[in-house]
Amino acid sequence: MAQKDQKGLTAQKENDFSEWYTQLIQKAELIEYSPVSGCYILRPNAYHIWEKVQSFFDALIKADGVKNCYFPLFIPESLLTKEKKHVAGFAPEVAWVDYGGDTKLGERLAVRPTSETIMYDAYAKWIRSHKDLPLRLNQWNNVVRWEFKHCTPFLRSREFLWQEGHSVFSSDSEVRDDTFKMLNFYEQTFREMYAIPTLKGKKSEGEKFAGAVYTLSVEAFLPNGKAIQGATSHHLGQNFAKAFDIQFSDDQQQKQYAWQNSWGISTRSIGMMILMHSDNKGLVLPPKVALTQVVIVPILFDNSRKAVLKEAQDVVKRLTTKNISVHLDDRDDYTPGWKFNEWEMKGIPIRVELGPKDLEKKQVLIVRRDTGEKKAVSLVKLDVEIPALLETIQQSLFDKAEKYLKRSIVTVLNFKDAEKQLKTEKLLFVPWCGKPLCEEEFKEKTGAKSLNSPFEQPALKNGQKCFACAEKATVWFYFGKSY
Ligand code: 87F
């Protein structure tokens, strides 16, 4: 047979997480490396996941009244540095354009790292009265942050895709509600599309966006014991309104600075999904984001070939009318076993095997990618069983991840226990003083930092001490090693 070499993973998820990931994203044809270090090619299998997430989230925000728009990729230096506080820490990561051809530009241009400055400059022109508010705009775009840390496809790259939402309201309370609402949309997207449970909460003073009054986040916990921030929603207060002079006249004709928020989710979330669900055979895709949800592998022999293929084509038709994306793998020069491995590597949620013996019994064999479970299903029941099984798989991936998350969280009250639990890949729930310096010192000693604090706080005992510095604790917080 003219088939290519079998190309399974040679590293295991349990033993060499990072090598396993590197092999998987290439062998599942998600990523190709590009000539620029830190910039990666998203192949169709990966881009499709993004498109699915994009349509889901886009529908959520549009139904809520947000509109899409597009702002330029280039931001003049004078504009980018207008709000000094927010850009200070990020300055080393900005990529610049100095020339057009051989001509030096009068002012250098930043390649968009995020769009606050260029958008709010326009907002200041558009907003005059409270009747212009709320203004709720979103962009689906690419951004560049010239990372100097080690890059990893999806998780940390120098260019990535995301959405950035930027809304303006006439009161603090409206922004507050909206900032929480957007966070809930992110939680829902991770849950329903990626089958990932997240912890919702508020970031610490040290970890919040410098331009924000506060930052909310969703955080996930990956199977290697590392937490990862999935998306953020920032309450910006009037900080940017003051820097960019965004004012409106209220119903008493009084001028007031506007209230703002911003919120984003990026292609990093695809990496989180891969790390969460995949195994030593390759990618495991939640059915909701899979380009192909069902692959049919016919078992072909010369004398029954025609009949088997005819039935397989019929199954394709029936499933397609049920809005399921099916692929019939009728390639001649590959063995069924080779095909099984390939589709397992690519994470297709359900494999349907159909051979002459199945045909005689008017049945097929269906195989779940996530658990490997096999089951014979009668042909007439297929268009009910397959959609149901896709839903079961989606739910069961979530349930498994949620069980893992729940059993990984441990409450610890002192430094020694914290250190011990971090070594066994746990996520800490701790009474904390909330001080940036305490967090910094803890990170230096253990490599772990604060993630967020849940909105529903257990009561703190009278005189409860900070788990790390033994000062007075003020808040319950999640801490963990993280990406
Ligand atoms: C890198 C260079 C320059 C992050 C940067 O989280 C500026 C920045 O402002 C920067 N890296 N940030 C923070 C982005 C905040 C905010 N923007 C809108 C979000 C969500 C979407």
Q: How far apart are the first and last CA of the chain?
A: 44
Residue ID of nearest Cα to ligand 1 atom 14: 114
List, for residues 441-483, the tens digit of each pLDDT value: 999 999 999 999 999 999 999 999 999 999 999 999 999 999 9
How remote is the CA of residue 212 from the centroid of ligand 1, in Å? Answer: 11
Are 431 and 417 contacting, i.e. CB atoms less than 8 angstroms apart? Answer: no
Which atom of ligand 1 lies at the shortest distance from residue 163's CA? 21
Q: Which residues are registered as beta bridge partners of 397?
A: none
Q: Which of 90, 137, 215 to mutate to test the pocket of ligand 1 (most atoms within 8 A of CB)?
A: 90
How remote is the CA of residue 112 from the centroid of ligand 1, in Å? Answer: 10
List, for residues 139-160, the tens digit of each pLDDT value: 999 999 999 999 999 999 999 9
Residue ID of nearest Cα to ligand 1 atom 1: 90
pLDDT confidence tier of residue 360, bands split at 50, 70 and 90: very high
Q: Distance between CA 225 and CA 13 in Å, rounded?
A: 12
Which atom of ligand 1 lies at the shortest distance from residue 232's CA? 6
Phi-psi region of 283 (alpha: psi -120 to 50; beta: other; left: phi over 0): beta
Query: Who lines ligand 1 at CB under 6 A?
Result: 86-87, 90, 93-94, 113-114, 116, 145, 164, 209, 232, 234, 262-264
Q: Which of 112, 114, 116, 182 to mutate to test the pocket of ligand 1 (most atoms within 8 A of CB)?
A: 114
pLDDT given at position 86: 78
pLDDT given at position 396: 98
How remote is the CA of residue 87 from the centroid of ligand 1, in Å? Answer: 8
Residue ID of nearest Cα to ligand 1 atom 2: 90
Average pLDDT, stretch 27-55? Answer: 98
Residue ID of nearest Cα to ligand 1 atom 15: 209
Please give the mean pLDDT across all residues of the chain: 96
pTM tops 0.95? yes
Average pLDDT, stretch 229-244? Answer: 97
pLDDT confidence tier of residue 3, bands split at 50, 70 and 90: low
pLDDT given at position 2: 45
pLDDT given at position 97: 98
Average pLDDT, stretch 302-309? Answer: 96
List, for residues 86-119, the tens digit of each pLDDT value: 788 899 999 999 999 999 999 999 999 999 999 9
Q: Distance between CA 144 and CA 97 in Å, rounded?
A: 12
Average pLDDT, stretch 28-35? Answer: 98
Q: pLDDT above 70 covers what percent of the chain?
A: 99
Q: Distance between CA 236 and CA 213 in Å, rounded?
A: 5
Residue ID of nearest Cα to ligand 1 atom 10: 114
Q: Which of 405, 398, 483 is nearest to 193 (CA)?
A: 398
Are 31 and 153 contacting, i.e. CB atoms less than 8 angstroms apart? Answer: yes
Which residues have a Cβ under 8 Å from the Cβ of 361 and sit 6 or more positions away? 376
Average pLDDT, stretch 239-268? Answer: 97
Average pLDDT, stretch 274-280? Answer: 98
pLDDT given at position 1: 45
How remote is the CA of residue 81 from the centroid of ligand 1, in Å? Answer: 13
List, for residues 169-224, the tens digit of each pLDDT value: 999 999 999 999 999 999 999 999 999 999 999 999 999 999 999 999 999 999 99
pLDDT given at position 4: 56
Which atom of ligand 1 lies at the shortest distance from residue 233's CA? 20
Average pLDDT, stretch 30-54? Answer: 98
How remote is the CA of residue 408 from the centroid of ligand 1, in Å? Answer: 30
Q: Distance between CA 477 and CA 20 in Å, rounded?
A: 31
